[in-house]
Amino acid sequence: MSHELVILMATAASVALIHTLIGPDHYLPFIVLAKARNWSISRTSLITFLCGLGHVASSAILGLIGISFGLALANLELTESYRGQIAAWLLTALGLVYLVWGLRQAFRNRPHTHIHAHAPEQVHSHEHGHANEHAHPHIMSSKKNLTPWVLFVIFIFGPCEPLIPILMYPAAAGSLWAVLMVAAVFGLVTIATMMGVVLVSTFLVDRLPSRGLDRYSHALAGGAIFLCGVAIHLGL
């Protein structure tokens, strides 16, 4: 392995780490949805991994196709820009729809008091909500199964902007092996960083006091995802 390739791989790893950490859209949706939908650690890990894999692989494949056809870097970056706009709009739409749905669920599940009198001296009351009692199991199941697929599609469109410029250097040298190595390092670091941040944050969020906020968990998740989409539009 040449000295230049080692430096290029180290650069790819560093850029992937920073790119992922400074982009909350890489991990925040998984954290808030895992909390709202009570995903297990294994389910959260699998969904994050698959979305991260789709996120990196789509850009890597696009880069390899561009390199194969001799497309200029500017053309590839323009394509990535279009993909980024689509992903931002999809993420914003998902957050908005989920926010509205979450507020509707919170309103339907607002606690109310029932008073029962069994005898003049025996009176008691209790609070409860009805949303979960009236929800059909197959509807709830379909909602839970649809959300990860929507996220996966969004991450397929979401570009890894720094990857393609990094791939162009070994491509210019005519080394396909170096291109594949750099793409693999970038992808592994990106996915590992996503999963690490998501799992640690989920662990910490689960231990925060949330009494009184549980019925707003879906609305809060939708709001967080919506803000991620808005932040992308604003270039934050």
Number of domains in the chain: 1
Identify which of 62, 80, 56, 14 has the alpha carbon closest to the alpha carbon of residue 187.
56
Structural domain contains residue 180: yes
The reply to whether 187 falls in a domain is yes
- Summarised one tens digit per residue, pLDDT across range 140-195 is 444 457 788 899 999 998 888 888 888 877 776 667 888 889 999 999 999 999 99
Residue 184 tokens read as 């693999």
pLDDT in tens, 32-87: 999 999 999 999 999 999 999 999 999 888 888 887 777 777 778 888 888 889 99
User: What is the rounded CA–CA span in Å between residue 130 and residue 110?
Assistant: 8
In a domain, 130, yes or no: no
pLDDT per position as a tens digit, 103-134: 998 888 765 554 555 555 555 555 555 544 44
Residues 171 and 179: beta-carbon distance below 8 Å: yes
| Beta bridge partners of residue 126, listed in sequence order | 114
Neighbours of 110 (CB within 10 A): 11
Q: 160 in a domain, yes or no?
A: yes
Query: Rounded to whole angstroms, how far apart are CA atoms 158 and 52?
Result: 10
Q: Is residue 197 part of a domain?
A: yes
Domain carrying residue 200: 27-87+141-207
Q: How far is CA 65 from CA 3, 32, 70, 174, in A?
A: 27, 35, 8, 14
Query: H helices then E strands: how many in the chain?
Result: 9, 2
Task: For residue 224, tell me if it sits in a domain.
Answer: no
pTM here is 0.81
